[in-house]
Amino acid sequence: MLHTRLRDGKANTARGASSFIAEAISRARVAGSTGELIVGLDGGFYNAKVIATCRRAGARFSVTCRNDSKIRAALSAIKDTAWTAIPYWSSHVDPDTGQTISPTLMSPRPATPPSPAAPARSPPD
């Protein structure tokens, strides 16, 4: 664990998230990390301010988004062959095809980040 913060009372998941992420990335750099940083976020952190913080810090990120009709439509527009398997610890190689079988897939292009004025969407193929 790199960074933790306790909040008072019934705090919303995203409250203070962008400053938390900026602090964590800063700590990683101060500690000597010079490589690519990847920030993993669950759906509670899916907002424009958090995404902007990751981008400003030069970190790559993976964030879960809500599963609404616009997201489903954007995802279904991406060709099956365009997805890339992410090799996690639970991945394995199919002995017949040589392909990596992974429980997680990544879209071929980054999604448009959420903004207060527009819903999030993946770009069309």
pLDDT in tens, 10-60: 877 788 889 989 999 999 999 998 998 888 888 888 888 999 999 999 998
- Written as six digits, the tokens of 99 are 């392909």
pLDDT in tens, 88-106: 666 778 889 887 776 666 6
Strand, helix or coil for residue 63: strand
**Domain limits, the chain:** 1-64
Under 8 Å between Cβ of 83 and 105: yes
